[in-house]
């Protein structure tokens, strides 16, 4: 359990249109830039924001992506001064803050943002598009391995939001299930049966993530991540 609830944080809001990925015939909505004025946050995300592959990106459970700004110095220390690590937006985030991380944010946390209410629905599962975005062949594996993944929100109450609005905690449903704990159970201590049972029963967690735990409990095996992380079977 985190030592204390996350404190209100000033937001940078970012959106982006679908663009081609470098050295690829695929496109992505990972390229986000800060907005300068108010916009509507609806059930499927921020006004003017796009995702390329709606089978695996976007949707109600992944309407808004949050990536902590304090992770960027860590990445620069490890990878050097890559242009896409110079400022928020590199990881495709819609919300950037300082003070909120996977350590102190939990699944089910409800936040007020401007006129909207959002709820933490799941962590972010990095995919191979990060490798192309940064020109680092194992970037997705690095993100998954460090736990610096960011997370997603579902929108409970649509509303008008603006850059500089505070993201303020409104309620906690399962404070013991921090995103760090969830990550550790799924990617580090991967067959801890007690943790998997807890995840499977965590109703506020997105159904797709609960199914990972259920399948592991049923099969006794961890799923293959190669296609997601490397873009291959």
Q: What is the pTM of this model?
A: 0.95
Q: Return per-residue pLDDT of the chain as tens, 233 residues.
A: 455 789 999 999 999 999 998 877 889 999 999 999 999 999 999 999 998 877 778 899 999 999 999 999 999 999 999 999 999 999 999 999 999 999 999 999 999 999 999 999 999 999 999 999 999 999 999 999 999 999 999 999 999 999 999 999 999 999 999 999 999 999 999 999 999 999 999 999 999 999 999 999 999 999 999 999 998 64
DSSP letter for each residue of the chain: --SSPPPPEEPEEEE---EEPTTSS-EES---EE--S-EEEETTEETT---S-TTTS-SGGGSEEE--TTHHHHHHHHH---GGGSSTTTT--SEE-SS--TTT-BTT-EEEETTEEEEEEEE----THHHHHHT-TTHHHHHHHHT---EEEEEEE-EEE-TT-EEEEEE-S-TT-BHHHHHHHHHTSTT-HHHHHHHHT-TTS-HHHHHHHHHHHHHSSPPP-HHHHHS--
Architecture of the domain spanning 9-173: Beta Barrel (2.40)
Q: Which residue ranges make up each domain of the chain? A: 9-173
């Amino acid at each position: 359990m985190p030592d204390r609830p996350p404190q209100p944080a000033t937001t940078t809001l970012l959106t982006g249109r679908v663009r081609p990925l470098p050295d690829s015939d695929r496109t992505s909505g990972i390229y986000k830039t800060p907005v300068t004025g108010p916009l509507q946050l609806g059930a499927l995300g921020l006004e003017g924001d796009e995702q390329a592959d709606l089978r695996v990106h976007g949707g109600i459970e992944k309407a808004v992506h949050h990536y902590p700004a304090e992770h960027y110095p860590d990445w620069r220390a490890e990878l050097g001064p890559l242009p896409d690590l110079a400022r928020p937006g590199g990881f495709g985030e819609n919300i950037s803050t300082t003070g909120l991380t996977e350590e102190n944010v939990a699944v089910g946390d409800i936040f007020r943002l401007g006129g909207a209410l959002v709820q933490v629905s799941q962590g972010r599962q990095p995919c191979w598009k990060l490798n192309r975005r940064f020109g680092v062949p194992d970037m997705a594996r690095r993100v998954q391995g460090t736990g610096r993944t960011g997370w997603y929100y579902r929108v409970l109450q649509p509303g008008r939001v603006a850059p500089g609005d505070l993201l303020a905690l409104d309620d906690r449903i399962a404070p013991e299930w921090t995103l760090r704990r969830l990550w550790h159970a799924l990617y580090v201590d991967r067959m801890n049966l007690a943790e998997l049972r807890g995840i499977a029963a965590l109703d506020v967690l997105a159904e797709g993530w609960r199914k990972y735990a259920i399948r592991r409990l049923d099969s006794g095996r961890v799923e293959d991540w190669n296609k997601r992380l490397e873009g291959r079977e």
